[in-house]
Amino acid sequence: MAESAGEARVQGRIEGHVAILTLDRPAKLNALDQAMMAGIEAWVDEVEANREVRAAIITGAGEKVFSAGGDIAAWAGLDPLTFMRDWIRKGHRVFDRLARLRQPLIAVVNGHAFGGGLELAATADLIILEEHGRIGLPETGLGMVPGWSGTQRLVRRFGPRIIRRMVLAGEMFPAESALAHGLVDQVVPKGEGLTAGIKLAEAIAARGPIAVQLSKQLINAAEGEEEAFAIEAVAGALVAYSDDLKEGAASFREKRTPRFEDR
């Protein structure tokens, strides 16, 4: 599966019905740059196209950090317009695609997740945090605002009050506190995150894949993640099995007026 070139890279593999993506830049605290973002997007393409994959996991290499967020060296020298067009917009596109992946996505947060790292984890349907990890949005302390939906998707998923504490006051949440506030779904001992993630992914994969995928879309729609797409996707899937569509397609091939029956 996907592997980007150079120092900054991601590694993908498949185990049974589960696709696993690892942020593989531990020397840089798995900080995200353009090459990693391209690797993540390529992985999404592969997972979306693979009919055997029923659940997916994203995690980080190393023992301390899931991701420290956007790599400052990758964006610090950009002029404002380039920063907006190439950094912010691309990040939104990639993270939106992760959030709308047709298969359920689990984030195995194997350490700290700050800034863009937390925004990345929040694209997942379920989050597992190892007990030594802390999460937060420190951007305002650097004179920045969260740029990859920290003030949007995270507010929808976790609520505005807790996000205000992270964004406005820079509050960091250790694992048990994050669990108590509903910021993560499960806390596990250090080093056991991926095992727990695979177990959860396999439980998801054992359920009806069509029902699971449609349920994810409906939940996303209720949350405001992709309402228009979800409505049209479910309606389109329903029509695809109808006699009306069969008759319409047949009449087109045969160059005649369709004869639809009353239902």
Query: Is residue 139 among the annotated active site residues?
Result: yes
Q: Which of 119, 131, 202, 247 is catalytic?
A: 119
Stated as kind and residue range, the H or E segment containing 10 is: strand 10-15
Neighbours of 156 (CB within 10 A): 14
Q: Are 114 and 129 in contact (CB under 8 A)?
A: no
Cβ burial 234-255 (10 Å sphere, 16+ → b, else e) = eeeeeeeeeeeeeeeeeeeeee
Query: Is residue 41 among the annotated active site residues?
Result: no
Q: Which of 46, 48, 131, 139 is catalytic?
A: 139
Stated as kind and residue range, the H or E segment containing 207 is: none
**Paired sense of beta strands 186-188 and 10-15, if any:** unpaired
For 104-176, list the strands marked E by DSSP: 105-109, 112-114, 126-130, 134-136, 173-174
Question: What does the alpha-carbon distance between residue 63 and residue 109 come to, in Å, rounded to a whole number?
Answer: 10
Question: What does the alpha-carbon distance between residue 97 and residue 100 come to, in Å, rounded to a whole number?
Answer: 5
Kindly list the catalytic residues.
119, 139
